[in-house]
Amino acid sequence: VQLQASGGGLVQPGGSLRLSCAASGSIFSINTMGWYRQAPGKQRELVATITSGRTNYADSVKGRFTISRDNAKNMVYLQMNSLKPDDTAVYYCNADVRPSGRMSYVAIWGQGTQVTVSS
């Protein structure tokens, strides 16, 4: 099972980006999916999570970012609007996945995608 993130890039302050993350492999089910980010010299921090339609956001992104998922495609998205330079970071997707043939969930991380907000 693996996660593949995409959609990062360079954007000006006030701009928008949409990140996507696809889970692939032998998957029985996925529980929570989410996005985290890590800026240079800082610890990785939660951005947003989604579980059975319930969403959770870091205070710093509330009202600007929207997380959503497509369960049929095993995908999670992060729509980022009104981007600020402080949003510059590597963004990682995460999912709690129950692989086929297993009874427990495991946390899977994507490879990260760079988001740079700069004029």
Q: What is the pLDDT of residues 47-83, one digit of tens each?
A: 999 998 899 999 999 999 999 999 999 999 999 999 9
In 3D space, the residue among 14, 3, 8, 1 whose CA is nearest the CA of residue 86 turns out to be 14
CA distance 84 to 14: 6
The rounded percent of the chain whose pLDDT value lies above 90 is 98
Predicted local distance difference test score (pLDDT) of residue 68: 97
pLDDT at 53: 82
Give the pLDDT confidence of 100-109 residue by residue, as tens digits: 999 999 999 9
- What is the average pLDDT score of the chain? 96
Asked if 38 and 45 touch (Cβ cutoff 8 Å), the reply is: yes
Which residues 6+ apart lie within 8 Å of 48 measured at CB?
Answer: 34, 35, 55, 56, 57, 58, 61, 65, 67, 78
